[in-house]
Amino acid sequence: MSATDRRVAAYADLLVDRCVKVQRGWQVVIVSQVAARPLIEAVLERVARRGAFPLLRMGFDWPLNRFWIREAPEDLLKQLPSIDAFERENCDCIITIEAPANTRQGSDLPPERFALWREALRPYAARVFRHEMPWVICQHPTSALAQEAGMTLAQFETFFYGSVLIDWDALEREMQGIAVRFDAADHVRVVGAGTDLTFSLAGRRGRVSGASTNMPSGEVFYSPLEDSAEGVVAFSEYPACYQGHQVGGARLRFEAGRVVEASADSDEAFLLTMLDTDEGARGLGEFGIGCNPGIQIHTRNPLFDEKMDGTIHLALGQSYEDLGGTNQSSIHWDMVKDLRKGGRIELDGEVVQENGQWKPLVVRGNRLSAR
């Protein structure tokens, strides 16, 4: 067996055994594209060995039904076929393996039509956002992803497996320590280039994302209080990538938890269209802290970039109900802010991270505090 084969096998073990923990008798939906065949086959083998049923859903592009979305009558876009609805309501877990042949797939869809389709999916995504069933979104390395990251395929594969085949037990312990700090805090302030944003986590606990719902994973994330975000954030370091679009230099101003002003250096029209998708699209649905040591560079790939060590990300739209979030939207758009050069995070007025580095905890009186 080649080194590449061993990496694929180890990756499939991770997805089936740890990320979703497939059990005997489960109905496992596997959604993917043809370029991921080596990983799909390895996953199918492991699902079979565990006595479960794989339900394979294959396509050529992403979204799988993008040609239908572009051409279907609007009244059909607003609903989900009954067979698809039944599957989403009754399956035991979902493994989504993205393997794009072109990273701009989906960018040709009119935003308004895409929004209608996403709105139809929203009721059936509730189990996912409430973490009521196991699920994982992952990728298989392709030439398109490598090119987007500015690498050869071999270089990208080394980077890719270096971010997923890591010591997850050790990283989860480290992230638990980070979560303890934020769980105990009320107010968060993020300061960086063009950025001074505050919001509240009072009464809300975070989730440590180890080897679970996203792979690569490696983040601690929260759903901030819906009316608490105040200030400005500039995503000046990296483009905000979503559905095949790359919005450069996005700037957002929040008042009472909602985006009241937005602009961008490029693709601004797409940004504004997404903000008007529905009532909840202008809300702050997530605050996440990137912690994966295997991800140190930006790849124009949100699944990786939001886990980049020393960064934070803010998601517009849908929040996480199991974390106390009440904002609802058909979009969930993660935007990454790099804090490694001149940025900091404050908790209740105390700096806990500066230039991407965590301040050590010390005991002061009867409480833990950053040094």
CB 96 within 8 A of CB 138: yes
Please indicate, yes or no, whether residues 123 and 221 belong to a single structural domain of this protein. Answer: no
Give the pLDDT confidence score for residue 110 in this predicted structure. Answer: 84
Tell me how crowded residue 298 is: count the other CB atoms within 10 A of its CB. Answer: 18
Please indicate, yes or no, whether residues 195 and 343 belong to a single structural domain of this protein. Answer: yes
* Boundary-marking domain end, from 164, 193, 223: 164
Residues 30-86 pLDDT 10s: 999 999 999 999 999 999 999 999 999 998 877 778 888 889 999 998 888 999 999
Domain count, the chain: 2
Please indicate, yes or no, whether residues 332 and 252 belong to a single structural domain of this protein. Answer: yes
Give the pLDDT confidence score for residue 268 in this predicted structure. Answer: 95
Residue keyed to tokens 């992403």: 62
- Could you give the dihedral angle defined by the CA atoms of residues 119, 124, 130 and 131, in that order, rounded to the nearest 10 degrees? -130
Whether pLDDT at 263 is above 80 = yes
Rounded to whole angstroms, the Cα distance separating 332 from 340 reads: 25
Confidence of residue 142 (pLDDT cuts 50, 70, 90): very high
Tokens coding 18: 């740890």
Please indicate, yes or no, whether residues 152 and 230 belong to a single structural domain of this protein. Answer: no
Please indicate, yes or no, whether residues 242 and 332 belong to a single structural domain of this protein. Answer: yes
Query: Closest Cα to residue 316, out of 346, 357, 365, 272?
Result: 272
Please indicate, yes or no, whether residues 195 and 318 belong to a single structural domain of this protein. Answer: yes
* Boundary-marking domain end, from 131, 164, 197: 164
Rounded to whole angstroms, the Cα distance separating 102 from 235 reads: 24
Please indicate, yes or no, whether residues 30 and 137 belong to a single structural domain of this protein. Answer: yes
Confidence of residue 370 (pLDDT cuts 50, 70, 90): low
Give the pLDDT confidence score for residue 104 in this predicted structure. Answer: 79
- 27-32: average pLDDT: 96
Domain carrying residue 175: 168-370
CB 20 within 8 A of CB 93: yes
Tokens coding 137: 């979104």
Per-residue DSSP letters for 107-167? TTS-HHHHHHHHHHHGGGGHHHHTT-S-EEEEE---HHHHHHTTS-HHHHHHHHHHHHSS-
Please indicate, yes or no, whether residues 192 and 48 belong to a single structural domain of this protein. Answer: no
Q: For the chain, what percent of residues have pLDDT higher than 70?
A: 96
Please indicate, yes or no, whether residues 129 and 253 belong to a single structural domain of this protein. Answer: no
Tokens coding 250: 């996005």
* Boundary-marking domain end, from 164, 182, 206: 164
Please indicate, yes or no, whether residues 114 and 179 belong to a single structural domain of this protein. Answer: no
Rounded to whole angstroms, the Cα distance separating 333 from 317 reads: 7
Torsional sign, CA 269, 306, 322, 24? positive
Whether pLDDT at 202 is above 80 = yes
Residues 227-262 pLDDT 10s: 999 999 999 999 999 988 899 999 999 999 999 999
Per-residue DSSP letters for 74-119? HHHHTS--HHHHHHHHH-SEEEEEE--SSTTTTTTS-HHHHHHHHH
Please indicate, yes or no, whether residues 142 and 217 belong to a single structural domain of this protein. Answer: no
What is the value of pTM for the model shown?
A: 0.84
Among the ranges given (66-75, 138-147, 267-276), the one the predictor scored with the smallest mean pLDDT: 66-75
Give the pLDDT confidence score for residue 363 in this predicted structure. Answer: 45
Residue keyed to tokens 């998708």: 277
- For the chain, the maximum distance between any two Cα atoms, rounded to a whole number of angstroms, is 66
Coil vs helix vs strand at 358:
strand
Render the burial of 152-178: b for 16+ CB within 10 Å, e for the rest: eeeebbebbbbbbbbebeebbebbeeb
Q: What does pLDDT average to over the chain?
A: 91
Please indicate, yes or no, whether residues 278 and 311 belong to a single structural domain of this protein. Answer: yes
Rounded to whole angstroms, the Cα distance separating 227 from 254 reads: 10
